[in-house]
Homo-oligomer: A and B are copies of this chain.
Amino acid sequence: VIVQRPRDNGLKFKGFDLGVSARWLQEQRKKSLARARVGLNPREAALIERIKRLKKESGTHSPSAWTLAQRIPELRLKVDACFLSNPYATQLFLMHFHREVVRPRKLRALLELYPSQNRVIAAKLGRVLELNPESIFVGNGAAEIIQAILHRFTHEKILVNLPTFSPYYEFTRPDTQAVYNVLRKEDNFCFNPDAYLDLVRRERPDTVVLINPNNPDGGYIPYVVMRGLLEELRSVKNVIVDESFIHFACEGNGYLYRSLADQVGRLPNLTVVKSMSKDFGVAGIRAGYAVMAPDRVRTLLDNGFLWNSSGLAEYFFDLYSRPDFQAQYERERIRFIRNSRRFFAALAKIDGLHIYPTHANFALAELSGGLSADELVCRLLIRRGIYTRTCDDKKGLEAGKFVRIAARNRPENAYIIRSLRRMIG
């Protein structure tokens, strides 16, 4: 039996020398880095063309990882860091779903029967949110809600911050004019309430939109500032606050977050939009809700939207309304925030990458080296199976240097960091 003795400069595995020196490994790494940095081989170039074509078909949105995997099966997708969600919450939901639906053979009822009408689901949500159920409108994802409110309640002019989540200016009626409050990268994309209110006075929009935390930069307006803003915006016909990422934005002690939904009773011009896809990691279910004045909910329901929730969405909202699930979810939310903060800190340490301050579950990264955002996104996808989002198509971020990177679970975050270091570090 030959027992190899550990050497100082050799690589070890469980205390044993693997027979390669650290220097050799370092050289190999350098070579691999060099390979990653040079031009693409023909296969890679062809793949990039196909990705770009798919991207073009998807307009100002990224093709979903689902579409990508189906249309370009050669891509071996490992990490979807384009998709903004809490993967731990997905896991928690799946556990319940298997235990309560799949195993007891209750899936059939969920798929076969008509789900409940909007009002019935709103009543359940009202109890857990401690809000008047008549002020809750349940949507087939936040996207449906955004479209519904922009088409019914917005008329002449909408004011949105830039950069922003594009449906707020894309889904408007053709006769609605969009005006922009530009958040400057020189200010770290920070929101300035005074400049904003000046702009509102000047432009007199009938609708203003505040996404908090903002997408795609993750900038956050604190609760007290928002409360003050809402007072100043009382004369604006529609104030839309999109809190789709609020579960990731903590203020003060602990990991508490504060929603403005309870202000709707006081402020009839306020609509709070909430996607469930992000914090609960269930985008495939299409579930969201909005809180607004009861007469607005009635207007929307009178226009249809009767059976817009699927059986799965109804099960999700049932689960969401349960205290046992809420307690479990709260643990996963905090766990995810902790991991995400570590991830953003590690991202910020990579040379050639500037990370803007974020209170969300993603970070906006600016590239300072020679590589463009598009090149980085494509290479990460082809060579490492990591799907990130180029911001080239985002108004206000067209410089070709911005990439949005979502936090995922710990091993995935570590893999993203390793891959980015290889490519640009």
Measured CB to CB, the residues of A under 8 A from B are 57-59, 61, 63-67, 70-71, 80, 83, 85, 87, 90, 93-94, 97, 102, 107-117, 119-120, 140-141, 143-144, 146-147, 151, 167, 171, 173-174, 277, 281-286, 302-314
Contact = CB atoms under 8 A, between A and B. Distances in A.
The 10 closest A-B pairs by CB, nearest first: A284-B311, A147-B304, A64-B114, A67-B116, A171-B304, A114-B283, A111-B284, A286-B310, A90-B112, A66-B113
Contacts of A114: 64-66, 83, 277, 283-284
Given A141-B307, A310-B310, A285 B113 contact: no
B140 A111 contact: no
B312 A58 contact: no
20 contacts: A61-B306, A64-B114, A64-B115, A66-B109, A66-B114, A67-B117, A83-B113, A85-B112, A90-B112, A93-B111, A94-B108, A111-B284, A112-B282, A113-B284, A115-B286, A140-B140, A141-B307, A147-B305, A167-B306, A284-B310
Nearest to A116: B67
A141 B304 CA distance: 12
A147 B303 contact: yes
A306 B143 contact: yes
Contacts of A67: 116-117, 120
Nearest to A152: B151
A307 B311 CA distance: 17
Contacts of A286: 115, 140, 307-310
Nearest to A119: B57
A304 B146 CA distance: 9
Contacts of A171: 303-304
B303 A115 contact: no
A285 B117 contact: no
**Which of A90, A111, A174 has the largest number of chain B CB atoms within 10 A?**
A111
Contacts of A311: 66, 283-285
Given A66-B116, A114-B283, A141-B308, 17 more contacts: A57-B119, A57-B120, A63-B120, A64-B113, A83-B114, A94-B107, A111-B282, A113-B284, A141-B307, A143-B307, A143-B308, A151-B303, A171-B304, A174-B302, A285-B310, A310-B312, A310-B313
Contacts of A63: 116-117, 120
Contact of A284 (B57, B115, B282): B115
Most buried by B among A109, A151, A303, A306: A306
Contacts of A108: 90, 94
A150 B58 CA distance: 26
A168 B310 CA distance: 21
A66 B121 CA distance: 12
Contacts of A70: 116
B312 A284 contact: yes
